[in-house]
Amino acid sequence: MSGTRRTSSKSYGTTAIASSPWIVVSVGVAVMVVLLAIALGAYRGRGPAFDAQPAPPLPTVGLADPEPSAASPTVTRSPRATATQSGRSTTRPTPTRSTPARSSAPPSPTPSGSEETALVAPPPSVSPLTGRYRVVESHADGFVGEVLVGNTSSAGREWTTRLTFPGARLGSAWIEGAPQGTAQRIDDGFTYRSGGDLPGGASVTLRFYVQGTQSRPTSCTVDGVSCRL
């Protein structure tokens, strides 16, 4: 009886598979679906990891900076972003020119090579008025003297005469033929100022009486110019 049961069980499995081929097809489809899912999962897990790898950087060439000198401007470099194919950016130096600082000190004067000419003050102008002294009359207690005043210019001018007689005293003074001026006594002499302008090229006589024995003055001037004695 045992042999009969074994034979019947084997024949039943074979008969069931032969009578139902859809079972084999279903099993094959399920196996293919599982393999396809595994393959898709492996592909999806591989894709991001592959994309996350950074792209190799572009080769850059280093530039040797020359040593700055006093005559040439200094060059400084600032980074500038450069886009690459992978979306990342690398920095490359961009040269920028800066001018050297200028000194604010004023420039030193340059010698012109020509000698400086010293400023010489012009000589004081000489009065065009002249004077000539002489004694007209002599007396026991004094004398009468005169000064002939002349104007060598072409314009009329006022004038002042100054005489000094040591130990003498002025008695009176007057002008011959012209408006009278003003006499003023001083130590050992007197001054006389004209009463008007003396025309150009003209002359006038100033006379005076002096009490004393000294008839020759120690000084006689007309507008600061010495008289002829």
Distance CA 134, CA 161 (A): 14
Distance CA 104, CA 127 (A): 56
Q: Count CB-CB contacts under 10 A for residue 217.
A: 21
The per-residue pLDDT for 81 is 43
Distance CA 194, CA 161 (A): 8
The per-residue pLDDT for 15 is 60
The per-residue pLDDT for 158 is 95
Q: What is the mean pLDDT of residues 59-72?
A: 51
The reply to whether the predicted model has a pTM over 0.85 is: no
Q: What is the pLDDT of residues 128-180, one digit of tens each?
A: 999 999 999 999 899 999 999 999 999 999 999 999 998 888 999 999 888 99
pLDDT band at 96 (very low <50, low <70, confident <90, very high): low
Phi, psi for 37 (deg, rounded to 5):
-65, -40
The per-residue pLDDT for 50 is 44
The per-residue pLDDT for 28 is 83
The per-residue pLDDT for 49 is 47
* Cβ–Cβ under 8 Å, residues 128 and 152: yes
Q: What is the pLDDT of residues 193-217, one digit of tens each?
A: 999 999 999 999 999 999 987 889 9
22: helix, coil or strand?
helix
